Structure 1
């Protein structure tokens, strides 16, 4: 028998922990911080996407992560028109209530995790829907908030 009594809940909890562990490797070993980073970056990414694409991305997320993805969603206000600098600033603003985490590191961690676990075709559609300056950072693996070649260390 499963721990919760429902296999679907156990599976999504296990998958969520896997995603959070991956994020923790980039933002530090704190599960609550990793959850906040995941939820903030997902919200800001979702808000930057056209509504239909946001829904398609949401459909590919694990159940528990899908719940946080849709939390406080207002499709009538989408998509936001942020460029890279505005996107990074918006993420940083929403991360201000936890221990310091640089928005570029948070964004890189979540984009990388999405790239590992969401289908490549869906990731390509998401990338193409983003403005060139955000898209280029994700596509080329450069840090979203730093010029190419600049590292976080």
Structure 2
């Protein structure tokens, strides 16, 4: 492992790589694509959450992942109003754009499973409870360990 000379950076790079490895196990062996998927799903999730819960979740993410999570966030911006999983997955797909093909449901499940393994279970439960039932129900399966 390359070291930066700063323990905080070395730790976040190591932790982020663990997260990306887990996502790659589900979506295929392309680290750059896994990073793109992680950001797309996290930002879609963030935009669905009340600000307080979004911030509490962000505080539990590794420093590098936290940067991707907060990228392009406009606090007080318009929140999506769709209540179903199709709308959520459509936003993930739009965020992925013209990258390598992956089913948005598969990408979302991979990221949520990784979150469930590394984020405090109480925080994951709060995140899930803040989502509309149409989104919450499918994500519960992905977070079951």
Instruction: Indicate if the aligned counterparts of 1:51 and 1:78 stay in contact, CA closer than 8 A.
Output: no
Question: How far apart are residue 78 of structure 1 and its match?
Answer: 4.8
- Comparing both chains, which one has the higher relative contact order based on Cα–Cα distances under 8 Å and sequence gaps of 6 or more? 2
Tell me what 1:7 maps to. 7
Tell me what 1:37 maps to. 37
Counterpart-to-counterpart distance in 2, 1:112 and 1:61: 14
Tell me what 1:117 maps to. 118
Tell me what 1:54 maps to. 54
Tell me what 2:19 maps to. 19
Counterpart-to-counterpart distance in 2, 1:78 and 1:114: 25
1:79–1:53 Cα change, 3 Å: farther
Give the secondary structure class of the aligned counterpart of 1:4.
coil
- TM-score norm. by structure 1 comes to 0.88
The number of equivalent residue pairs is 141
Instruction: Indicate if the aligned counterparts of 2:26 and 2:110 stay in contact, CA closer than 8 A.
Output: yes
Give the secondary structure class of the aligned counterpart of 1:93.
helix
- TM-score norm. by structure 2 comes to 0.93
Tell me what 1:90 maps to. 91
RMSD after superposition = 1.4
Counterpart-to-counterpart distance in 1, 2:60 and 2:79: 19
User: Structure 1 segments of 4 or more deviating over 6 A?
Assistant: none
Question: How far apart are residue 62 of structure 1 and its match?
Answer: 0.6
